[in-house]
Structure 1
Amino acid sequence: MACAVGGCAGCNVRINTANGPAMKRVCVDEPVFDAASVVF
């Protein structure tokens, strides 16, 4: 079970941003990401 506060980093999602690729946490940063920005 995940921690839900961002401490475990088990929910990292790699996304493309204007400044290049970045890692975001689903539990802290956003629950929903634009599918066009997610690196699958």
Structure 2
Amino acid sequence: AVLTYFVKVVYEEEPYLLFELWYPFSVLESWCYGFLMILEVIG
């Protein structure tokens, strides 16, 4: 509940900050996903 509240406050007050935190994780996740797909094709 505390984390949800914190995210809500950050999202309302500093949406760009939240985006900057989320964006690198999104890129990293897509890279990992693509890497796993390549491994599946090769293997």
TM-score bracket for this pair, using the shorter chain length:
under 0.3
TM-score (norm 1): 0.21
Please report the TM-score for the alignment, with normalisation by the length of structure 2.
0.21
Relative CO higher for 1 or 2, CA cutoff 8 Å, sep ≥ 6?
1
Which structure carries more helix by proportion? 2
Asked which structure has the greater CA Rg, the reply is 2
